[in-house]
Amino acid sequence: MSRGVRRAGAGQGAAAAVQLLVTLSFLPSVVEAQVTGVLDDCLCDIDSIDNFNTFKIFPKIKKLQERDYFRYYKVNLKRPCPFWAEDGHCSIKDCHVEPCPESKIPVGIKAGSSNKYLKVANNTKELEDCEQANKLGAINSTLSNQSKEAFIDWARYDDSQDHFCELDDERSPAAQYVDLLLNPERYTGYKGPSAWRVWNSIYEENCFKPRSVYRPLNPLAPSRGEDDGESFYTWLEGLCLEKRVFYKLISGLHASINLHLCANYLLEETWGKPSWGPNMKEFKRRFDPVETKGEGPRRLKNLYFLYLIELRALSKVAPYFERSIVDLYTGNVEEDADTKTLLLNIFQDTKSFPMHFDEKSMFAGDKKGAKSLKEEFRLHFKNISRIMDCVGCDKCRLWGKLQTQGLGTALKILFSEKEIQKLPENSPSKGFQLTRQEIVALLNAFGRLSTSIRELQNFKVLLQHSAIVYKKGQLF
């Protein structure tokens, strides 16, 4: 190699190093500068949410998720996709979901009734019956006649409700309990056309968007030249509040899921032992303002918006759980009491937050138009919950279904204020009811959002640290 070529190469290498240094130096400040301030469509700022989540919510919700009542989730991962022949697959073995053996399920949970958290439901013969069941799927055959009648009654009630989600039939033999602590949400390698089709169907067919308007960074959309998404956001700002909120909820959920994958990435696998941790390259690919042409920070702001919505739902549903009749039943009397105390403590914190989203600003027009819009809103979200059965990766499907159901439950709560206010203190209510599946999904979904915001803070620190280390390396 000639001396001139070597000099040119050295010069290019130095220029690249300087460019990388500049990028690393400014990236943390750019991310912080763009993911800050007051959120659109509400009066809350991001710094207040960060502080509230870090010091009040995150430690408690993490502890709550470890309790038996909230760690076991019953789900049907074998429901066929209702829209297309599923063709996805996991690229690593960690996508597989391990169902929980019956012997590990607390007797009070596996007893069968989806409303088993009520004290009046905890004194029936079915507890003894279900201890004799060989499989969790064989619930129906172990129920007393009285319990079967109660099932029919509750099923009739559930069918009459304005559900925002397609609920799994917990009595189906295909529904199994999953220990969420043993099946954490993390990177699985599920990507490509199958994953794109799921998200594309969600955004393109269910977010009130005409096909002539294209989402930024949509890999399935035709090239839009130098648009950079401006036409999309011009269209979005022209929508009514309710439809803007809908898009932000879905975008925020998508951002939250992506954050979990970046924070729990398969870094390496040595001798069959995987090493999981934060992947800064993956984080920058998904959220860096430069690499995403400004889209990343917008998505992260939608994560905060979604957090506010679910936080508001928890504050509104608190009276439901504060009643003495509600017992988060697993069969362990002492732990059940501690779990309820912790849950009520979290509710008190949610009610103390000073800048809640005002859900009364939604569906506030003329009654007929508002009712029609609310029904359209509900059906679109319910359709998204059905799309979750099209996810090709079991672990992705598990957490997608849980978080979608959690958000659907939050929406159900927000638009049931009158029914919640009329709840009787010492008897079950037919006006508003939550199944155990909905309760577990609601709190775990909010726990995921709380964790996402905490992980975002961790990534900011890691980016700052990497920039400092790189600068030091250039000085010596």
Which residues make up each annotated binding site for FAD? 186, 188, 199, 251, 254, 286
The amino acid at residue 261 is L
Cα four-point dihedral sign 344, 348, 349, 353? positive
Residue whose entry in the numeric block shows the structure tokens 């469509």: 41
User: How many residues comprise the chain?
Assistant: 476
Give 150-155 contacts, CB < 8 A, sequence gap 24+. 150/113, 150/121, 151/113, 154/113, 154/114, 154/115, 154/433
The strand ranges marked E within 31-171 are: 72-75
Closest by CA position to 379, among listed 80, 165, 79: 165
List the structure tokens of 146: 């009285």
Distance in angstroms (rounded) separating the CA atoms of residues 299 and 320: 33
Q: Could you confirm whether 393 is annotated as catalytic?
A: yes
Helix axes 58-65, 333-352, angle to 10 degrees: 150
* Residue 210, Cβ density class (10 Å: 0-12 exposed, 13-18 middle, ≥19 buried): exposed
List the structure tokens of 159: 């069918």
Q: Could you confirm whether 100 is annotated as catalytic?
A: no
Q: How many CA atoms lie within 13 A of 436 on its CB side?
A: 28
**Bridge partners of residue 274, in order along the sequence:** 269
Give the 3-state secondary structure of residue 391. coil
Cα four-point dihedral sign 139, 145, 149, 152? positive
DSSP character string of 279-346: -HHHHHHHH-TTTTTTHHHHHHHHHHHHHHHHHHHHHHHHHHHHSTTB---SS-HHHHHHHHHHHHHH
Q: What is the DSSP letter of 94?
A: G
Catalytic residues: 393, 396
